Chain A
Amino acid sequence: MKKYTFTEKKDTRSGFGAGLSELGKSNPNVVALCADLTGSLKMDAFAKDHPERFFQIGIAEANMIGIAAGLTIGGKIPFTGTFANFSTGRVYDQIRQSVAYSGKNVKICASHAGLTLGEDGATHQILEDLGLMKMLPGMVVINPCDFNQTKAATIAIAAYEGPVYLRFGRPTVPNFTPADQKFEIGKAVMLNEGTDVTIFATGHLVWKAIEAGEQLAAQGISAEIINIHTIKPLDNSAVINSAKKTRCVVTAEEHQMNGGLGDSIAQLLARELPTPIEMVAVNDSFGESGTPDQLMTKYGLDAVNIVEAVNKVLKRK
């Protein structure tokens, strides 16, 4: 098992803020919109440095999506920022008609996704956003794993022409991705080559997959670990090639099982290469108040749950 280390834990939302700041300096067409959560989204630096290109919309997310769509007419590249719940479910029809169907170059950037939002509880802990967004034709869906990768993804999506959903979160997590690693939309990242099982993980579950890989190595199990930062378009060949080699698969994500990464991988493998698969995800349930760690444990999204899933899927080979 390849050894991964990190010097500090950082939040992915700060990676977004850092990426946006850099874009502010490098690309005059980048504009940012926020619905009264500038601090939470770490958009303050952009707002301070580029007040003419920062639009404080107020608590009106539907209006924000529409204004973003309009700003593209005239060559701007709008980045909208609010919590994941208000970035997707609340404004689904606005995104569907004014952004996705209209083919507008809007970057919908969403923080505080999933259970790790913590104490605010289920009203804010959206676990359905990846599914909602990936169903929209033409929408790119990205869920990076740490600060560095979120920063790189933020910069990369400005150079891509078309609608993108970028999901990140609130808690600090190990920042282990090399700062100079290029972010390629739709290209999976091989973290550890293995032979017995493949773990496909996304977002905050990537580090947990690495921890699970270490525990499995101690048990003599060789796990291949792949970071799927882009849910759509899925890196089909990376998934198929790895599944061919290991012949069993575990998926891990901070999202509902319905509609998430596991669902995408299962769909692909069912068509191309039927393979035993287990999914570490929230199973048709809302979250609740608690600390992020408590919630990840209660809802079965820890390294130990990945290890259990691996042991289960190995028996099905």
Chain B
Amino acid sequence: MNRRHFIALLIVSSAAEGVVCLAKAAGPNEISIQASKFEFTPDTVKVKRGQPVTFVLTSIDRIHGFKMPDFGVRIDIVPDQETRVTITPEKAGTFAYFCDVFCGDGHEDMGGTLVVED
């Protein structure tokens, strides 16, 4: 992503609700998602259909997984590393992402929602 695209990126963040929205970007947008036992922050992400988005994934405690079956995404998130994965959602809807590396009591609740809007 170049500087102009970065400036064009409008990120509206609501910390209270844990929701990140992206709009009006020409290139791949970036959304940072932090993993910790047993949650993703944010746990709801809104993006635009047809617009590439890069998830920048970090973990603050242990190895977690990041899986988005609807987009064929599956990757480990290793502490002290930045893990990046890019998708281009072509369909509007609501999709799940979740940790697929069993990480303890609460693992099964560790997930989030990707909202793809027209």
The answer to whether A and B assemble together is no
Which residues of B come within 8 Å of A, CB atoms?
none
